[in-house]
Amino acid sequence: MNENFYYGQRSAEEFESSTLTSGPWSPDFQHGGPPFGLAYRVAQDNAPGLIPTGGRFDILAPIKVGDLLVRAEVLHETRSTKQCSVSLTQGGRTVATATFWFVRPVPDALLPTPTMLPQDLISLDLREPAGHPIHLGFDSLGTPFSWLNHGSGFMSSCLWKFPEDIPFLREGAHVAACKMTTTLVRGSALSGFERIYTLADAVWSIGRGFSLEEMSAVNVDVTVHCVRPVESEWAYIRAATTHVAEGGLFASGEIFDQHGLCAKVHQVLVPAPPRLERVS
């Protein structure tokens, strides 16, 4: 059985992107999730024995589906903490940067007792994942927009469960469940924290508070605060979008597993004109 993966690794710093990294806007450019997950993975290699408490990913330019040079450096270190910076470059140009904080794990006896998954998220397990390509926008009749119609990208590389039979059918605060069936780097299983960072950029899509017939948006950053790794097969996301007066938008969300909260996510969105065509 062939392995699905987002990146092939050529050396410690060189990675080759697969078509599964592409985002909904274009098959030529990456979704923000895979490169954020990759940045975390490279940073973690510089912090052995430590766990992440948070990370920020800044997208400086469109990230092409192609070769990536990913370099990490330690900015600050104490006996119990470490701060790492990661740069992602293509063709000699920095297209994204990331910063992560790592801390020393606490003894198991000090960890809180796991909680149960909230009921509104448990109910998502009652439906089967959608079997059609993932679209992020629909008109009032439920017809998807063709500019979001390429089924080989990041959103379609995962299995999704929504309250509706059709994923992303409506706007507003929302919940969803996601099972990642694609590895981040070829030949290496996804870790629980890699799942969090790779999924984080999907928050604004899930909680999209506007119609794509009226406008689109581009996110410029993703900030994650980790509570603990995802430890179950499915990750659950609760998300919402807030309009900023005379400015952009602010998306926020929470990532859960079957035992409760795993991370909180925040994103800044820049409004953009709609670019829509109907699916024929």
The total domain count for the chain is 1
pLDDT-based confidence at residue 191 (cuts at 50, 70, 90): very high
Quick check: is 32 in a domain? Answer: yes
pLDDT for the residue 132: 57
Quick check: is 126 in a domain? Answer: yes
Share of the chain above pLDDT 90, in %: 54
In whole angstroms, give the CA distance from residue 99 to residue 13.
17
- Provide the residue range defining the domain that includes 149: 5-104+117-272
Taking the whole predicted model, whether its pTM rises above 0.75 is answered as: yes
CATH at 202:
2.40.160.210
Number of alpha helices (DSSP H) and beta strands (DSSP E) in the chain = 4, 13
Is 111 a residue whose pLDDT tops 70? no
Quick check: is 213 in a domain? Answer: yes
Provide Rg for the chain, Cα atoms.
Answer: 18
For residue 138 the two structure tokens come to 């629909």
pLDDT for the residue 144: 67
Share of the chain above pLDDT 70, in %: 82
Is 1 a residue whose pLDDT tops 50? no
pLDDT-based confidence at residue 279 (cuts at 50, 70, 90): very low
Contact 213, 170 (CB under 8 A): no
Quick check: is 279 in a domain? Answer: no
Quick check: is 92 in a domain? Answer: yes
Quick check: is 252 in a domain? Answer: yes
In whole angstroms, give the CA distance from residue 84 to residue 73.
6
Contact 160, 199 (CB under 8 A): no
* CA distance between the termini of the chain: 34
- H helices within the chain, ranges in order? 33-44, 119-122, 192-199, 203-206
More confident residue, 87 or 249: 87
Quick check: is 199 in a domain? Answer: yes
Taking alpha carbons only, the member of 54, 99, 97 closest to residue 76 is: 99
In whole angstroms, give the CA distance from residue 214 to residue 145.
12
Quick check: is 277 in a domain? Answer: no
In whole angstroms, give the CA distance from residue 155 to residue 172.
19
Taking alpha carbons only, the member of 182, 142, 132 closest to residue 5 is: 182
Q: What is the tens place of the pLDDT at every residue in 196-233?
A: 999 999 999 888 888 777 788 888 999 999 999 999 88
